[in-house]
Amino acid sequence: MMQEAKPLAAAAAADIHRAVAAFIDFDGTLVALAPRPDAVVVPKTLAPRLAALAARLDGALALVTGRPIEAVDRFLAPYRLAVAGGHGTERRRADGTLVAPDPALAAAAARIGARLRPLADREPRVVLETKPASVALHFREAPELEAVCRRAVDEALQAEPLFTVVAGKMVFEARPARIDKGTAVEAFLTEPPFAGRAPLFIGDDRTDEDGFAVVQRRGGLGIKVGPGPTAAHYRLADPTAVHRLIEKLGDGGAIGEMAGLTAFLDQEEAAS
């Protein structure tokens, strides 16, 4: 059962002498949520700060998001970081090589999107976001249509046994049943420069719980952004607090190891 996040007094689950590998969600974590996916506001300082963090961690930084990789690149141009897009259905490794979506999953996602298109066309406040191998139906501008959207997604998946539906913040995600943010993190951790490092995962939504579980099982830390139940060991208040963490990790290496990281997180929680 998920519980409210609490700080670990001495980071008992983590080896405090290991360098950090950072995995960070995008929406709700690095940028505030917006009514529509294309309306998020990306602070001008964010992309350079992420680049500085990647350099400080010798490349051991990856964004792990429900968005497609091309969308992340557009928001963070001209920087191109390691990314797991579509909840891990596609990945760009730290060396720049791409792991493309399974063609069968891409075809299934296209069919699901086609089945949901009439609802989005009929109700302009509902946003259909199609991705290379997953589909999201957003209803942030029409919360009263939550049940309608859930029913539509469930019906769209009836003939797609490889897919499942996951509820997020005012969104229903149709994604492959055996792929999630946790499996994406697992894949990165088998590759340089992530392998052997103490992983941390920062995220705000239910879909990030898979990432928290993986990193904490490997002796790292999950960091929940915002309120709500979670299995993560730590919590930051909002994206602004995440930006402070990125600056500390990336601009001078003051907390580049797990010991300094946990001390910073304890200070943030005490101040909130």
Q: What pLDDT score was predicted for residue 142?
A: 97
* C-alpha distances out from residue 240 to 5, 28, 256, Å: 19, 10, 19
Q: What pLDDT score was predicted for residue 270?
A: 81
Q: Is the pTM of this model over 0.85?
A: yes
- Burial class from Cβ neighbours inside 10 Å (0-12, 13-18, 19+) for residue 16 reads middle
Class of domain 20-100+179-271: alpha beta
CATH 3.30.70.1020 occupies which residues in the chain? 104-176
Measured between alpha carbons, how far is 83 from 144 in angstroms, rounded to an integer?
34
- Burial class from Cβ neighbours inside 10 Å (0-12, 13-18, 19+) for residue 183 reads middle
Q: What pLDDT score was predicted for residue 71?
A: 97
DSSP 8-state symbol, 257: B
Q: What pLDDT score was predicted for residue 249?
A: 83
Q: What pLDDT score was predicted for residue 18?
A: 74
Q: Residue 147 in contact with residue 172, Cβ under 8 Å?
A: no
CATH 3.40.50.1000 occupies which residues in the chain? 20-100+179-271
Relative to beta strand 234-236, strand 221-225 is parallel
CB atoms within 10 A of CB 78: 7
DSSP-derived secondary structure for 166-232 = EEETTEEEEEETT--HHHHHHHHTTSTTTTTSEEEEEE-SGGGHHHHHHHHHTT-EEEEESSS-BS-
Q: What pLDDT score was predicted for residue 3?
A: 45
pLDDT in tens, 65-115: 999 999 999 999 999 999 999 999 999 999 999 999 999 999 999 999 999
Q: What pLDDT score was predicted for residue 222?
A: 96
Q: What pLDDT score was predicted for residue 110?
A: 98
Q: What pLDDT score was predicted for residue 17?
A: 58
Q: What pLDDT score was predicted for residue 266?
A: 85
Could you tell me which residues come within 8 angstroms of residue 93 by beta carbon, excluding any fewer than 6 positions away? 82, 99, 188, 191
Task: Quote the crossing angle between the two packed helices 46-56 and 69-76, to the nearest 10°.
Answer: 110
SS3 of 23, please? strand
Q: What pLDDT score was predicted for residue 248?
A: 82
Helices (H), the chain: 46-56, 69-76, 103-122, 146-156, 181-188, 209-217, 239-250, 258-271
From edge to edge, which strands make up the β-sheet containing 135-138? 127-130, 135-138, 171-176, 163-168
Question: Which of 77, 25, 51 is CA-nearest to residue 222?
Answer: 25
Residues classed as catalytic: 25
Q: What pLDDT score was predicted for residue 7?
A: 41
Could you tell me which residues come within 8 angstroms of residue 100 by beta carbon, excluding any fewer than 6 positions away? 90, 132
Q: In terms of CATH, what superfamily is 104-176?
A: Trehalose-6-phosphate phosphatase related protein; domain 2 (3.30.70.1020)
> pLDDT tens digits for the chain (272 residues)?
344 444 443 344 445 557 889 999 999 999 999 999 999 999 999 999 999 999 989 999 999 999 999 999 999 999 999 999 999 999 999 999 999 999 999 999 999 999 999 999 999 999 999 999 999 999 999 999 999 999 999 999 999 999 999 999 999 999 999 999 999 999 999 999 999 999 999 999 999 999 999 999 998 999 999 999 999 999 999 999 999 999 888 655 566 677 778 888 888 888 87
